[in-house]
Amino acid sequence: MGYKETYNRWLTSDVVDDDTKAELRAIADNEKEIEERFYRDLEFGTAGMRGILGAGTNRLNIYNVRQASQGVAKYVKSRGEDAAKAGVLIGYDTRNFSRVFAEETAKVLTAAGVKAYLFPIVHSVPEVSFGIRELGCAAGVMITASHNPKEYNGYKVYGPDGGQLPPDAADVVVAAINSYDIFDDVKYIPLDEAKEKGLLEIPGSELDEKFLDVVQTQQQNPEAVKAVADTFKLIYTPLHGTGSRPVQAILKRIGFKNVLVVKEQDTEDGNFSTVVSPNPENKEAFDIAIEMAKQNDVDVIIGTDPDCDRVGIVVRDADGVYRTLTGNQTGALLVEYILRSKKEKGVLPADGVVIKTIVTTELAAAIAESYGVEVMNVLTGFKYIGEKMTEFAEKKNHTYLIGFEESYGYLVGTHARDKDGVVATMLIAEMAAYYKTKGMSLYEALMDVYKRYGYYAEKTVSFTMPGKDGMEKMAALLKGLRENPPVKAAGMDIVLYTDYQSQTVKDTKGNVKPLTGLPKSNVLKYNLSDDKTYFIVRPSGTEPKIKIYLGTFAESFEAATAEIEKVLADCKEQFGLN
């Protein structure tokens, strides 16, 4: 069926509501818009699906949320009667339609005979991941689009371990979803009926308290907080998201007395009206907080994204300038802090492991090596860190210490299997207090890390390619890079080509070695002849973007960043990106 036929089917279907039909009739004269909304189904990947809100198969709405839920129900039931009884935990963030989509999910699951646990209020990603494990659920669903702009929402599916579905399980869910027609095959019942049948349960606040209990156990230096609690001040902003309740609660629990909250952003506002995008990677998201910091003489600002799985921080440097730290810098600080703290207390395990993704800073590896701790690299996506954690728990062969991504996601502790902005915020705040007892700011601590391990610099640049044309451009770019690979960048030879899709590593002499230990992924890595500079090309898994990740190290931060800029400029010219 072509896109126009699908469009007409939505207009004439008895299932589609009047408001949706009105939205579609409004674009009747816009052929390009009709094509964009209906040329494909919204893709369901290993992390679920994410898209712009609206009517159409390539938009997120109650119809494809119901269809996805029907597929999840089939997946759960295929695992047996016990799995259906164990049920699915459903969480949702503050985005527009999140509560609606969560309720529709519960209606479909319970109609299929699968028990549903539906949170009564907004909850963060880590609380959902923890809750799945604590309740013994067979799966979980989180309605969120993380740090995307207000136009987006999403549907993430989790396995019984609390981690995002691994590829094999996701394939089963996708096959189940595709076995159902979006209108004819989807069944649902009212929530009241689901409750009467004993198929719908509302978790109580005791689950939230248990989550905070386990988060608190990850403190490294409780005494540092007590030492400075009376005078130390920090600013927190939830960026209109789910972090407000658990983050403020954990900071109060561990003894912080002067936490200033950005009130303008402490609201459940799905339009994120105080920011362009609720992304803690962007400094503009902290504009209000920075003004507060100047007025209140505050050295550190912490912000979490709408589903509280990412954390960004702003620190005051020696000149009084407020600087945003990258995810790589914050991650490196946390690795150094955790390993140092455990070593000082004599509890650093001999089999300890730090896990990072292939696009995340090599500074973490340098730090870990200095403490005799192993570093493992996984593909981009926290689900792969979660998989390793589950493997460690089963084989009992390693002790997980910390996992993180350059994209501002961190997890300390094994209570969850996804990024946790609550535990990360707690530890960043505690870390700032710890360095305060040493007469240092977080900025000075970062400079000390660079002096000790080398001046590592990284940069991630995204090139947006929206719509059908954009998808075709991205595919053509990756195809071209494989068929006609670049040979130089910034005057240096490319000496090593790693293709994570064909799982090969090739050198300039044509020698090819297999890449082992990682799943296939549409990612290309290029190592340059100076033996320290690299760049990686990867299409985003959640947005219509091509990303280039660059990294190097040098004898000064300025030299390292200058080298990255030269390589980036060359890549943009060679690849036709701007």
DSSP letter string, 99-110: HHHHHHHHHHHH
The answer to whether 399 and 351 have CB atoms below 8 angstroms apart is yes
Q: How far is CA 297 from CA 161, 289, 315, 320, 438, in A?
A: 43, 12, 12, 10, 19
What is the four-CA torsion angle of 7, 9, 14, 15, rounded to 10 degrees?
A: -60
Reference 327, options 281, 382, 379; nearest CA is 281
How many residues in total does the chain contain? Answer: 578
On the question of pLDDT at 339 being above 90, the answer is yes
Active site includes 98?
Answer: no
The two three-digit tokens of residue 209, written as one number: 């308290």
For every residue of 364-405, DSSP letters joined together read: HHHHHHHTT-EEEEE-SSHHHHHHHHHHHHHH---EEEEEEE
In 53-138, beta strands by DSSP E: 88-92, 116-118
The answer to whether 77 and 112 have CB atoms below 8 angstroms apart is yes
> Which residues, in sequence order, are bridge partners of residue 48?
45
More confident residue, 33 or 510: 33
Q: How many CB atoms lie within 10 A of CB 413?
A: 19
Q: What residues have CB less than 8 Å from 31, skipping those under 6 apart?
A: none
What percentage of residues in the chain have a pLDDT greater than 70? Answer: 99
The string of pLDDT tens digits covering residues 384-427 is 999 999 999 999 999 999 999 999 999 999 999 999 999 999 99
On the question of pLDDT at 215 being above 80, the answer is yes
Q: Would you call 297 exposed, middle or buried from its count of C-beta atoms within 10 A (0-12, 13-18, 19+)?
A: exposed
Mean pLDDT of all residues in 466-471: 82
What distance in Å separates the CA atoms of residue 478 and residue 417, rounded to the nearest whole number?
Answer: 31
Q: What is the pLDDT of residue 542?
A: 64
What domains appear along the chain, each with residue ranges and CATH number?
40-209 (3.40.120.10), 222-453 (3.40.120.10), 456-575 (3.30.310.50)
The two three-digit tokens of residue 189, written as one number: 């019942």
Reference 159, options 121, 123, 128, 205; nearest CA is 128
Q: What is the pLDDT of residue 46?
A: 66
Choose the catalytic residue: 98, 124, 129, 146.
Answer: 146
The string of pLDDT tens digits covering residues 511-551 is 999 988 888 899 999 999 999 999 999 987 667 789 999 99
Q: What is the pLDDT of residue 432?
A: 98
Q: What is the pLDDT of residue 541?
A: 66
Mean pLDDT of all residues in 67-80: 96
On the question of pLDDT at 354 being above 70, the answer is yes
What distance in Å separates the CA atoms of residue 363 and residue 369, rounded to the nearest whole number?
Answer: 10
The string of pLDDT tens digits covering residues 341-352 is 999 999 999 999
Which residue's entry shows tokens 């394939």?
171
Three-class secondary structure of residue 218 per DSSP? coil
Q: What is the pLDDT of residue 51?
A: 93
What distance in Å separates the CA atoms of residue 316 and residue 69, rounded to the nearest whole number?
Answer: 46
The string of pLDDT tens digits covering residues 115-172 is 999 999 999 999 999 999 999 999 999 999 999 999 999 999 999 999 998 888 888 8
Q: What is the pLDDT of residue 469?
A: 84
What distance in Å separates the CA atoms of residue 27 and residue 8, rounded to the nearest whole number?
Answer: 12
Mean pLDDT of all residues in 333-344: 98
Mean pLDDT of all residues in 496-523: 92
Report, in angstroms and rounded to the nearest whole number, the Rg of the chain calculated over CA atoms: 24
